[in-house]
């Protein structure tokens, strides 16, 4: 039963006894109080699902208690009962978080309806909490039982306890963001903000204002002042995703924030102090970028206080089976397909594959296979789109994709030679299709930065798929 325990806070003896009796007859567990102090005593000892609260009480106003209750994590639903009802006070009570507002005297039917509504509401909240939690906890968990994954989990636990800046390096799709979130969740800042900035996905001219905010009128279009992500993360953690992609100018400014923990908004001169824990990720070899003078060495040192390396999937292949099984269950549930398991042939194909796109590629392959399979069926090699025999270091093209490696330039429909820009466009789009829309991987294979790829796609009018540039 979603509603079990109820408090009645009412100083009028007759009304209180009457309500208590009606609720007991309906088999609720009822506590009765005639003052706010008495009710607070009950609330400090136990949790209640519902509360009837009178407004005028000997030691204060029931509405004050209503407001106080809102900051409690496990608060009861509050039904305000009053003999002096008005539209204005009803509106105020609802605004302050009341669930219902009843004017005395009220009928037994009104109580019945209120209880029913409260039960339905509580049930909905519980189901939604359960679903969110299940979804969140299952997709946030770092899976894998290999020794590599165990060491990674141990390292996460150690660094999470500290305030140290962490640099997470690893190939695309290895789980760097998952590691960053795990560090945050296990850190003393777990209940403070976690702000992510995808440095590769924000257009160059906006990135400084995204980082540090701007004052009103700082540039054309800055109609109001705006806080940057560092300010939003104050007291909490900021994730600088794909930090290798920021410009030299911004690298200098970021260095200052890391050193001094202070910044100025764009167009402003007030110095703002920020208390932020920084976690950065990169899928480029940052030491090499330093050698090539693309990334400042001093900034690299500031970021790399605790280095975390996330291994590519081909180096912990013993996890492929576990990951595949877990993803199978997740996607079967998500898509409502009753898949029975993974056939031995299919597992052989999964184990023989090289996984250049790492866990993300495996996850995508299983999701696609689940969608293509049927109820009561095992996943077979056909569902994967590749076989163990044919698996090399690149994934099979998606249905209809032209292999990006085709060297013959595509002719125009009239047989004439296409302009170079058009050939480039087709080549880029084919590469993107081959990597199932994963821009990081496509960019890597094309030998260009993800920022260049993003700019090109923008030029072609191809919308980015996932908000801030997430490739899933
Ligand atoms: N060990 C793991 N267990 C479960 N899921 C994982 C694991 N590693 C990665 N994933 C999943 O794979 C996908 C890619 O992971 P994530 O985004 O963390 O990769 P990344 O290293 O940040 O990649 P990129 O460099 O392309 O941004 C996510 O959906 C993530 O949940
Ligand atoms: Mg990432």
Task: Classify residue 410: in a domain, yes or no.
Answer: no
Whether 96 and 24 share a structural domain: yes
Ligand closest to CA 361: 1
**How far is residue 43's CA from residue 340's CA, in Å, rounded to a whole number?**
48
Whether 299 and 204 share a structural domain: yes
Q: Which of 148, 173, 469 to mutate to test the pocket of ligand 1 (most atoms within 8 A of CB)?
A: 173
Most confident residue range from 38-52, 122-136, 220-234: 38-52
Per-residue confidence (pLDDT) for residue 350, from 0 to 100? 94
Residue 76 sits in a domain of what CATH number? 3.40.50.2300
Q: Which of 142, 178, 241, 281 to mutate to test the pocket of ligand 1 (most atoms within 8 A of CB)?
A: 178
What is the H or E stretch that residue 308 is in?
A: strand 306-309
**How far is residue 63's CA from residue 54's CA, in Å, rounded to a whole number?**
8
Residue 464 token pair: 């980015």
Query: If you take atom 13 of ligand 1, which residue's CA is the nearest one?
Result: 360
Give the position, in ligand 1's atom list, of the atom nearest the Cα of 140.
31
Query: If you take atom 10 of ligand 1, which residue's CA is the nearest one?
Result: 175
Whether residue 132 is predicted with pLDDT greater than 80 in this model: the reply is: no
**How far is residue 343's CA from residue 387's CA, in Å, rounded to a whole number?**
13
Q: What mean pLDDT do residues 128-156 have?
A: 81
- Closest Cα to residue 323, out of 130, 154, 435, 175? 175
Whether 157 and 247 share a structural domain: yes
Residue 321 sits in a domain of what CATH number? 1.10.8.60
Asked if 388 and 395 count as a contact pair (C-beta separation under 8 A), the reply is: no
Whether 10 and 45 share a structural domain: yes
190 Cα: distance to centroid of ligand 1 (angstroms): 20
The runs of H, that is alpha helices, within 228-343 are 229-232, 248-260, 286-291, 297-303, 320-335
36 Cα: distance to centroid of ligand 2 (angstroms): 51
Whether 243 and 196 share a structural domain: yes
Ligand closest to CA 359: 1
241 Cα: distance to centroid of ligand 2 (angstroms): 6
Q: Are strands 306-309 and 194-198 parallel, antiparallel or unpaired?
A: unpaired
Query: If you take atom 8 of ligand 1, which residue's CA is the nearest one?
Result: 175
Whether 227 and 190 share a structural domain: yes
Ligand closest to CA 283: 1
Q: What mean pLDDT do residues 336-364 have?
A: 93
Give the position, in ligand 1's atom list, of the atom nearest the Cα of 471.
26
Whether residue 101 is predicted with pLDDT greater than 90 in this model: the reply is: yes
pLDDT band at residue 201 under the 50/70/90 scheme: confident
Whether 64 and 17 share a structural domain: yes
167 Cα: distance to centroid of ligand 2 (angstroms): 12
Task: Classify residue 406: in a domain, yes or no.
Answer: no
Whether residue 63 is predicted with pLDDT greater than 70 in this model: the reply is: yes
Asked if 82 and 103 count as a contact pair (C-beta separation under 8 A), the reply is: yes
Per-residue confidence (pLDDT) for residue 326, from 0 to 100? 94
End position of a domain, from candidates 311, 334, 361: 311
End position of a domain, from candidates 324, 359, 384: 384
The string of pLDDT tens digits covering residues 13-56 is 999 999 999 999 999 999 999 999 999 999 988 889 999 999 99
Asked if 264 and 211 count as a contact pair (C-beta separation under 8 A), the reply is: no
Per-residue confidence (pLDDT) for residue 205, from 0 to 100? 82
Task: Classify residue 445: in a domain, yes or no.
Answer: no
Per-residue confidence (pLDDT) for residue 386, from 0 to 100? 66
Residue 303 sits in a domain of what CATH number? 3.40.50.300
Asked if 236 and 193 count as a contact pair (C-beta separation under 8 A), the reply is: yes
**How far is residue 324's CA from residue 99's CA, in Å, rounded to a whole number?**
45
**How far is residue 185's CA from residue 156's CA, in Å, rounded to a whole number?**
10
Whether 176 and 243 share a structural domain: yes
**What is the pTM (predicted TM-score) of this model?**
0.62
Ligand 1 pocket, residues with Cβ under 6 angstroms: 139, 142-144, 170, 172-178, 281, 283, 359-360, 363, 440, 471-472
What is the H or E stretch that residue 347 is in?
A: helix 344-352
Whether 159 and 114 share a structural domain: no
Per-residue confidence (pLDDT) for residue 471, from 0 to 100? 40
Helix, coil or strand: residue 283: coil
Whether 122 and 157 share a structural domain: no
Task: Classify residue 391: in a domain, yes or no.
Answer: no
Whether 115 and 224 share a structural domain: no
pLDDT band at residue 416 under the 50/70/90 scheme: low
Q: Which of 140, 155, 174 to mutate to test the pocket of ligand 1 (most atoms within 8 A of CB)?
A: 174
End position of a domain, from candidates 384, 400, 420: 384
Asked if 398 and 436 count as a contact pair (C-beta separation under 8 A), the reply is: yes
How many domains, in total, are found in the chain?
3
164 vs 455, higher pLDDT? 164
Whether residue 265 is predicted with pLDDT greater than 60 in this model: the reply is: yes
CA angle 228, 229, 230 (to 5 degrees): 95
Whether 367 and 225 share a structural domain: no
Task: Classify residue 346: in a domain, yes or no.
Answer: yes
Q: What mean pLDDT do residues 363-379 have?
A: 91
Cis-peptide, bond into residue 51, ω within 30° of zero: no
Task: Classify residue 395: in a domain, yes or no.
Answer: no
- Domain range enclosing 41: 5-133
């Amino acid at each position: 039963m979603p509603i079990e325990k109820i408090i009645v806070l009412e100083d009028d003896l007759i009304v209180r006894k009457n309500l208590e009796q009606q609720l007991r007859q309906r088999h609720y567990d009822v506590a009765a109080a005639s003052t706010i102090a008495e009710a607070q005593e009950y609330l400090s000892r136990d949790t209640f699902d519902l509360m009837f609260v009178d407004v005028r009480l000997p030691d204060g106003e029931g509405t004050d208690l209503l407001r106080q209750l809102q900051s409690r994590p496990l608060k009861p639903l509050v039904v305000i009962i009053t003999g002096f009802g008005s539209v204005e006070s009803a509106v105020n009570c609802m605004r302050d978080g009341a669930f219902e507002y009843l004017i005395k005297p009220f009928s037994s039917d009104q109580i019945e309806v209120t209880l029913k509504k409260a039960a339905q509401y509580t049930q909905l909240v519980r189901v939604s909490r359960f679903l969110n939690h299940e979804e969140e906890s299952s997709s946030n968990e770092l899976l894998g039982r290999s020794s590599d994954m165990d060491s990674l989990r141990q390292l996460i636990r150690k660094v999470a306890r500290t305030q140290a800046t962490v640099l997470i390096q690893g190939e695309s799709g290895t789980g760097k963001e998952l590691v960053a979130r795990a560090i945050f969740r296990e850190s003393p800042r777990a209940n403070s903000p976690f702000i992510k900035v995808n440095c590769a996905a924000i257009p160059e001219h906006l990135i400084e204002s995204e980082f540090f905010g701007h004052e009103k009128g700082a540039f054309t279009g800055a109609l109001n002042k705006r806080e940057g992500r560092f300010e939003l993360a104050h007291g909490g953690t900021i994730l600088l995703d794909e930090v290798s992609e920021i410009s030299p100018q911004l690298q200098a400014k970021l260095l200052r924030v890391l050193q001094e923990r202070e910044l100025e908004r764009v167009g402003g001169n007030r110095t703002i102090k920020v208390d932020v824990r920084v976690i950065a990720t990169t899928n480029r070899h940052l030491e090499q970028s330093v050698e090539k003078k693309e990334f400042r060495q001093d900034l690299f040192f500031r970021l790399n206080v605790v280095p975390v390396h996330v291994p590519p999937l081909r180096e912990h292949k013993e996890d492929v089976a576990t990951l595949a099984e877990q993803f199978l269950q997740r996607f079967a549930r998500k898509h409502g397909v009753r898949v029975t398991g993974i056939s031995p042939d299919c597992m052989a194909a999964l184990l023989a594959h090289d996984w250049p796109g790492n866990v993300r590629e495996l996850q995508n392959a299983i999701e696609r296979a689940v969608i293509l399979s049927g109820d009561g069926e095992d996943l077979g090699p056909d569902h994967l789109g590749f076989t163990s025999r044919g698996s090399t270091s690149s994934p099979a093209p998606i249905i209809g994709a032209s292999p990006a490696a085709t060297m013959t330039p595509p002719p125009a429909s009239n047989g004439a030679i296409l302009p170079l820009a058009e050939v480039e466009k087709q080549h880029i789009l084919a590469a993107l299709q081959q990597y199932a829309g994963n821009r990081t991987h496509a960019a890597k294979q094309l030998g260009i930065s993800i920022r260049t790829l993003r700019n090109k796609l923008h030029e072609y009018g191809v919308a980015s798929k996932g908000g801030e540039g997430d490739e899933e």
